[in-house]
Amino acid sequence: MNYPTPHIKATPEDFGQTVLMPGDPLRSKYIADHFLENPVLVNNVRGVQGYTGTYKGVKVSVMASGMGMPSIGIYSHELYNAYGVQNILRIGSAGAIQPDINLKDIVMAMGASSDSAWGRQFHLAGTFSPICSYEMLHAAVQSAEEAGAVYRVGNILSSDAFYYDDEGIPESLDSVKTWQKMGIMAIEMESAALYLNAARFHKNALCICTVSDQLVRHEYLTAEERQTGFEEMMKVALETAVKLEK
């Protein structure tokens, strides 16, 4: 695939081998400003800010994915195929649907189940299991242990909907009860597409999320708490990027 691409105006040299991907472009800028040394804006198409700088001497990029599978599908496709990116580490937020997972915990998606039709494009004659990169997961678990973070590793649900028709859920949980019974830890909206693209293009991906909503107990982080919880995950993500470079 040639560059520039329809959604990223940059060159392969502009990106590190690992790209951290929050959903929100402003969060991407916050990470660049607060955690990277010498950050340079490398993409700003549609305001989807991408920055590259260094962390502990390692070249690391951060660029937003937008919300939902179609959006992360586009950005991961272009990063993997036109810009030579090897590792995409999604750093998101998620709604926990198990009672024993708490606000601010980090969930690491070993697998990403989905209610989406996005993966049908691959014409698979069965059920493909979108899974993360073991190497990235191993590095992230090590980094979480070092940071003393509370984390869980397991299956998550990448959903196409944030608001379900039954009573403006997530609150009612009705739409996700069956997933809850299968031990799904939390819901978010991007990982399955990211993992499918990584599989298809022989690249690496991992999603780690801070729990911002506890949907069983109806608990929600305040804007301020979202920030603090997020900073711990950021450290885990950046240390993961450093480990992947070695």
Q: Which stretch binds ligand HPA (CB under 6 A): 112-120, 129-137, 212-220, 223-231?
A: 212-220
Q: Is 165 a catalytic residue?
A: no
Query: Which segments within 97-177 are labelled E, that is strand?
Result: 106-114, 151-158
Closest approach, Cβ 148 to ligand HPA, in A, equals 24
Spatial distance between the Cα atoms of 2 and 7, rounded to a whole number of angstroms: 12
CA 99, CA 93: separation in Å to the nearest integer? 17
- Give all strands (DSSP E) within 4-119, no chain letters: 18-21, 37-43, 50-55, 58-63, 87-96, 106-114
Member of 88, 94, 101, 198 binding ligand HPA (CB under 6 A): 94
Four-residue CA torsion sign, 166, 230, 77, 113: negative
Question: What is the distance between the alpha carbons of residues 110 and 100, in angstroms, rounded to a whole number?
Answer: 18
Among 213, 229, 233, 239, binds ligand HPA (CB under 6 A): 213
Of 122 and 162, CB closest to ligand HPA: 162
Nearer to ligand HPA by C-beta: 134 or 162?
Answer: 162
Indicate the Cα dihedral angle 212, 48, 161, 159, nearest 10°. Answer: -70
Choose, by CB under 6 A, the member of 187, 199, 205, 233 that binds ligand HPA.
Answer: 187
- To 5 degrees, how large is the angle CA 171–CA 229–CA 73? 70
Q: Tokens for 145?
A: 């242990």
Taking CB under 6 A as the rule, does residue 232 contact ligand HPA?
Answer: no
From candidates 50, 119, 170, 229, binder to ligand HPA by CB under 6 A: 170
Kindly tell me the sign of the dihedral angle through the C-alpha atoms of 227, 232, 233, 239: positive
68 binds ligand HPA (CB under 6 A): no
Closest approach, Cβ 92 to ligand HPA, in A, equals 7
Task: Among 65, 204, 212, 240, indicate the residue that binds ligand HPA (CB under 6 A).
Answer: 212
The distance of closest approach from Cβ of residue 162 to ligand HPA in the complex, given in angstroms and rounded to an integer, is 5
Q: How far is the CB of 141 from ligand HPA (least distance, A)?
A: 22
Any bridge partners for residue 88, and if so which?
19, 205
**Active-site annotation, residues:** 213
Chain residues binding ligand HPA by CB under 6 A are 93-95, 159, 162, 170, 187-189, 212-213, 215
